[in-house]
Chains A and B, each alone.
Chain A
Amino acid sequence: MSLISPLLFLILVPLVAAGFIMLGLHARKTALVAAIANLVFTGVLLFNYSIATGGYQFESSMPMPVIAGLGIFFTLGADGLSLLLLLLTAIVTLAAVVVTRTPEKNGSWFYACLLFISAGGMGAFASIDLFFFYMFHELALIPTFLLIGIWGTGDRQAAAWKATIYLALGSFILLLGLIGLFLMQPDGMRTFDLRQIILMSENGYLPQGHWVYLLLLLGFGILVSLFPFHTWAPQAYASAPPPAAMLHAGVLKKFGLYGLLRIAAPIFPESIAAFSNLLLIALVGNILYVGYVTIAQRKLDTMLGYSSVMHMGYIFLGFAAMTNLSLTGAALMLFAHGLSIAALFALSGELRERTGTLDFAELGGLGKQMPKFGLLFGFAAFAAIGLPGFVGFAGELLIFFGSFVAGVPTMMSIEGREIFRLNNFQIATFCAVWGVVISAVYMLRAYRKIFFGPMNDRWAGLSDIAGSPRFAIVSLIVIMLLTGFLPQLLIKLIQTASI
C-alpha cells in the first residue's frame, strides 16, 4: 500500500485540465490531450494489472482519515471490474470530447464540464472507500445538470430541473442506505472501506440488513432508471447536448449498477434472494413495459433514451439472479451498453446537427444521401440490439444462461412423476429473451424510417459523416467488435473481482 496510487492520476488529469481550461488554455485541445492521456494511461494500467493475482491492485490510502472517527479514508484501488469501467469512462470521454462541437456560448466551460464528469466517473470507479465512491458520483452529477440546463435543446431547463431534483432524491436515499450500511457494522469496527465491510460480512459480523439493502436498491435504482423510477431519463437525454448524453447514459448511469454489483451482491446475498420477486417485477417492467413504450416513440432521441432504460433491465436481471454467470454478464453489459449508447447518441447528435429534427415523420431515405452515416448507424443499432459479433451479445447471453439456472430448481421428477414448473427467474428470462424481439422492432423501425424509403428533397444537400466524429464512432464500433469476438478476455478480467 503506497501513498499515491497511479489511479489518482486518472482523476487528477481531467480535473487539472478543466482547471487550465478555466484559466484560459485552448479548451478543445486541452480537453483532447487530457482525454487521450487518460485513455493511454488506463491502457497502461490494464496492461500492468495482473489477472493471475486478481483482486484490488494499485491500492493506496492516505494515512490520515479524512473525517476523524468515521473511518473515512481516501482509498483508491482497482480490480478487473473497476478497470473495465475505468476503461469505459476513458473511451467514452474521449469520444464525447471528439464529437463535441464547441458551443458559441461559453465554449470552454462546456469542455470543463465534460472533464468534470469524467473525473467524477473515474473517481467513483477507482474508489474503495464508499464515502468517496458516493461523493465522486455527486461531483459528476453537477456538471451534467449544467450541461443540460445551459447547452441543452428543447425544454432544457425543465428537463434539467426534473432530472436534477429526482437524481438528488435518489442520491439522498442512497446516502441513507450507505449510512445504514455503516451503522449496521459492529461498534468500534465501523468503516467505509468496502474490502473490510465485505470481510465482516463473510465472517458473520453483519446482522441481516433487509432495510439497508432496500434503501440501496431504491437509491441506486432511481439513478439507473429502474422501472417505475425511469421517466426522468428519456426526457433528460433528449434535451441534453449529445456529449452529455453520451457521458451520462454511457458512463454515469452505470454507477448505480456498478454499486449494486460491488456493494449489494457480496454483502446482502440473503436480502437479494428475499426480495428477488420485487426486483424481478421491476426489471421485467424495464424490459417489457419500457420496451413497448420505446416502440411507441416518434423521435430518435426519446427512443434512444427509452431503449437505454430498457437495456438496464437486462443488467438488473443479471444482478438479481446472483449466479456467477449472470453477474459476469451484467458487468459485460455495463461495458457493452456504455459503448453502444454512446455511439448512438453521438450519431443522433450528428443527425440533429444536419437536419435540425429527429422526428421520424420528417426524416426518411437518408441512406442514399449519407451512405457512410447510414452504415455506421446500422453498425451501432445492431450492436445495441445484441447482434452476435458485438460484445453486447456475449453479455446478454451470459445473463440469460446465468438467470435461467438461478434460484431454486423447480423442475424435477419425483418417483417417476415429472414436475414441470418454471421458477420466477426462468419466467423473467423468458421475458428478457422476448425483449430481444422488442428491441429489434424499435431499432429497425427507426433505421427504416430514417435511412430507408424515398427521400424528401429537403435533405438533398446533407453532408455525409466525416472527419473526427466519424473516427470516434468507428473506433467505438471497432472496440465493440473486437471485444465481441474475444469476450473471454473481458470475462477473465471481470472474474478477478469478488462479485
Chain B
Amino acid sequence: MSTLTAPWIILSAPLAAAVLILLFGRFSRPLSAGLAIGSAAIGCVLSWWLFVQPDPAVSLQFPWIVMEDLVVPIGVTIDGLSKVMLVVVTTIATLVFTYSLGYMRTEEGYWRYFAGLALFLFSMLGIVLADNFVMMFIFWELVGLSSYILIGHYFKKDSAADACKQAFIVNRVGDFGFLLGILFLWAGTGTLMFSELTTTGIAEFAANPFYLAVACVLIFCGTVGKSAQMPLHVWLPNSMEGPTPVSSLLHAATMVAAGVYMLARIFPILESAPAAMDVIAWVGGITCFAAALMATQQDDIKRILAYSTISQLGYMVLGIASASTADVSMFHLFTHAFFKCLLFLCAGSVIVGMHHEQNIWKMGALKNKMPFTFLATLAGGLALAGCPFFSGYYSKDLIIAWAVVNHPFLGWLSVITAGLTAFYTFRLIFVVFLGKPKSEHAMHAHESPAVMVIPLGLLAVAAVIAGYPFIESRFFHVLEPTHVPHVLHPVLLVLFAAGVLGAYLLYGRAEKDPVSIPFFANRLYIDNLYAWMVKYVQDGGAAVLSWADRWVVDLFIVQVPSKLTWATGFVLRFLQIGNIQAYTFFFGAGVVGILYLMIFR
C-alpha cells in the first residue's frame, strides 16, 4: 500500500460495489448491504491512514480526453483539503450505511437503495479527489444522478417522483453556470488543472478583472445549485421525500457541502476576484438569514432540518467570501457534517419510532420513550444552536467574526440568524420531546434498535468534541480575524439564550403552533413563484411554440414545398409514372440525364 494507490482504492471500491449490487444485489439482501458497507469501511480505514501520511509528491493520472489545449486527465489531488474531506465523507458514510441496515430493514427496493448509496459514495469521492475542473464536473453530475435515484426511492409516491425530478433539474440549472464558468477559465488560461489555475493561472487575468469575476460568479452557480443557495434552494426541502439516512448523508452532511468544498478548492482564484467575492458573500448571507426564517415555521421534522441545512450552508458560503482562508468554512463544514448528520439520524429514529409520522405536532413527550435519541438530539441541537463547548459554537462563531469584520451588514445579519437558529432548533426539540403526547403513535413510540442507536452515539460524541481546539488544529489552520468588536461574543451568547428561552416560552407546553406567520410558513412564496413560472412561462411558452411548429413552420416550410413537389409528380403521373419505385427510378435516371446535359451541353 502506498499513498499513490490508496486514493484509487478508496475511489474504486464503491464503484465496484455499485456495479456488483446492480448485477447480483437482487438475489440477496445481506449481499447488497454488505458490499456497500464494506466499500465504505475500506474507504474509511484507508482515508484515516492516508490522513496521517505525508502528502505524496506525485500522483497517478489517466488521460480521459487529451486533444490540443483540452487536457482532461482522471487524476487525484492529495492535499490537506482533500484529506480532511475524505475522512469526513468516508467516516460519515460508514456510519450512515450501517444505520441504514436498521432503518431500511422492512423497506422494499433494498438493493436499489444500497446500489444508490454506493454510487453516491463513488461520485462524492470523485469530487473530493478531482484534480481538474472537468473531472469535478463529471462527478458533480454523477452525485446529481445518485441524489435523483435516492430521493426517488419511493417512486410510487407522486411527491417523491416530483421531488427527485426537481432536484436533478434545479441542479442542472446550476450546472449550466458551472460549465460556462469552466469554459471561461479554460479559455482564459488554457488549463483545467486546479494546481495550475490556482498558481500560475491567476496571472493570466491580471488585465481582465471583469472577465475573471464573471468566470468566478458562473462557477459559483454550481455551488448555488449543489449547496442549495438562494435562489436555487427549493429542491433541498423537497428532497426530504427520500429515506431519512439519505437526507442525512447526501442532503445534510456531504453532498450539499460539495459546493463549499469546490469554492475552497479554488479559493486562490476567488481571492483575486473581489467583485465575485462580494456576490458570493451576499448570496451566502441572504440565504443564511432567509432559510432560518423559513425554518421557524415548518411543521415537518425533516423540513425544519432541511432549512437549517440551507442556512448553515449559507454560513459556509459567507465564510468563504469573508475569511482570509478557506479553512474557516471547511471547519464549519466539518463540524456541521457531524452534528447535522446526527440530527437527521435522530429524526430518522423518531420517524421509525413514530411509524413514519413526520409532523412534529403529532409527536411530543418522546423524552422518556426514546431517551438515547433524545440525548443525541440534544447534543446535536446544542451544537447547531452554537452553545458554548459544543462543536458548532467554535466553527460558526469564527465565520460570524470574520463576516462582521469584512462584511459588517451581512455579518450582523448572520448574528441575528444565530439567534433564530437557537430558536428553531429548540422549537423542534421542545415540541417533539417535551410536553404531552399529541397523537396515538406518540404514546406508543419505542426506542430504535442498536444498529441505529450506536451510530447516533458515535456521532453525538463527534458533535460535541469536533470543534475543540486540539481537534481543530489537527485538521485545519484557521485564523482569528483582528479587530473583532468586543460586544460580538457576548451578543452571540445572549442571542443563544434568548432563542432557547423564547422557544421554551412559546413551545414548551404548546399543543399547536401558537405563532402563525404565513409568509415564512409558505417559504416566502418562492416555491409558488417557481411553480407559476414553470406552468405558465415554460410550459405555456412551449405549448405556443409547439402549436406554431405544427401550424406555421410545418405548413409553410414543409407542407407547401411538399405539396408543390407532389403536384409536379401528379402532372408526371399522366406520363405513366404511377408508383414509388418507378418514381425513384426515373428520379435517378433524371439525375444522370441532368448531369449529362450540364457537362456536354
Contacts and interface: CB of A to CB of B under 8 A. Distances in A.
Contact of A440 (B137, B168, B541): B168
B158 A454 contact: yes
Contacts of A405: 187
B70 A404 contact: no
Given A138-B588, A436-B176, A448 B162 contact: yes
Contact of A453 (B161, B211, B554): B161
A445 B165 contact: yes
Interface string A111-147: 0000000000000000000000001001000100110
A146 B557 CA distance: 24
Contact of A169 (B63, B565, B581): B565
A231 B580 CA distance: 22
B562 A429 contact: no
Contacts of A70: 595-596, 599
A482 interface: no
B34 interface: no
A229 B566 contact: no
B539 interface: yes
Contacts of B172: 436-437, 440
B595 A179 contact: yes
A56 interface: no
B539 A401 contact: no
B562 A169 contact: yes
B234 to A, nearest CB: 15
B68 interface: yes
A101 interface: no
Contacts of A495: 67
A230 B549 CA distance: 9
Contacts of A404: 183, 187
Contact of A394 (B65, B69, B180, B600): B65
Interface string A352-385: 0000000000000101100000000000001000
Contact of A229 (B68, B161, B558): B558
B168 to A, nearest CB: 6
A394 B554 CA distance: 33
B195 interface: no
A228 interface: yes
Contacts of A168: 565, 587
B65 A411 contact: no
B546 A296 contact: yes
Nearest to B213: A420
Interface stretch (A80-88, A158-166, A208-216): A158-166
A488 B545 contact: no
A168 B588 CA distance: 11
Interface string B182-194: 0100110000000
Kindly name the residue among B134, B148, B599 whose own CB sees the greatest number of chain A CB atoms within 10 A. Answer: B599
Contacts of B180: 429-430, 433
A472 interface: no
Nearest to A440: B172
Interface string B242-271: 000000000000000000000000000000
Contact of B64 (A175, A452, A488): A488
Contacts of B542: 292-293, 295-296
B534 to A, nearest CB: 9
A382 B591 CA distance: 43
A198 to B, nearest CB: 21
Contacts of B168: 440, 444
Contacts of A401: 70, 183, 186
Contacts of A433: 176, 179-180
A487 B65 CA distance: 7
B165 A444 contact: yes
A411 B141 contact: no
Interface in A483-497: 487-488, 491, 495
Contact of B169 (A135, A444, A491): A444
A372 to B, nearest CB: 10
A166 B145 contact: no
Nearest to B109: A371
Interface in A314-349: 324-325, 328
Interface string A4-40: 0000000000000000000000000000000000000
Given A135-B588, A400-B183, A387 B145 contact: yes
Interface in B64-103: 64-70
B173 interface: yes
A232 B557 CA distance: 10
A448 B165 contact: yes
A400 B179 contact: yes
Interface string B163-176: 00100110011011
Nearest to A160: B580
A416 interface: yes
Given A231-B557, A418-B211, A437-B169, A165 B566 contact: yes
Interface in B111-147: 134, 137-139, 141-142, 145
B528 interface: no
Kindly name the residue among B69, B187, B553, B587 whose own CB sees the greatest number of chain A CB atoms within 10 A. Answer: B553
Contacts of A487: 64-65
A228 B211 contact: no
B565 A397 contact: no
Interface in A386-430: 387-389, 393-394, 397-398, 400-401, 404-405, 411, 413, 416, 418, 420, 429-430
B546 A293 contact: yes
B522 interface: no
A451 B155 contact: yes
Contacts of A145: 580
A429 B165 contact: no
A194 B209 CA distance: 48
Nearest to B171: A440
A388 B584 contact: no
A96 to B, nearest CB: 22
Contact of A295 (B137, B176, B539): B539
A404 B180 CA distance: 9
B559 interface: yes
B521 interface: no
B214 interface: yes
B176 A434 contact: yes
B169 A441 contact: yes
A272 to B, nearest CB: 20
B592 interface: yes
A405 B184 CA distance: 9
Kindly name the residue among A231, A289, A387, A447 whose own CB sees the greatest number of chain B CB atoms within 10 A. Answer: A231
B152 interface: yes
B557 A229 contact: yes
Interface in A87-115: none
A69 interface: yes
Contacts of A420: 208, 210-211, 214
Nearest to A295: B542
A452 B169 contact: no
A455 interface: yes
A325 B553 contact: no
18 contacts: A169-B562, A182-B595, A228-B553, A292-B538, A293-B542, A325-B67, A328-B67, A388-B137, A393-B138, A413-B207, A413-B208, A420-B210, A436-B179, A440-B172, A448-B161, A452-B158, A453-B156, A491-B65
Interface of A: 67, 69-70, 135, 138, 142, 145-146, 161-162, 164-166, 168-169, 175, 179, 182-183, 190, 228-232, 289-290, 292-293, 295-297, 324-325, 328, 365, 367-368, 382, 387-389, 393-394, 397-398, 400-401, 404-405, 411, 413, 416, 418, 420, 429-430, 433-434, 436-437, 440-441, 444-445, 447-448, 451-455, 487-488, 491, 495
Considering the complex of A and B, which 4 residue pairs feature the smallest CB-CB distances, nearest first? A452-B161, A296-B546, A231-B554, A296-B542
Given A67-B595, A162-B562, A452-B152, 19 more contacts: A138-B588, A179-B595, A179-B598, A228-B557, A231-B549, A293-B545, A295-B539, A368-B156, A388-B141, A398-B67, A401-B183, A429-B180, A436-B176, A445-B165, A448-B165, A453-B155, A454-B156, A488-B63, A491-B65
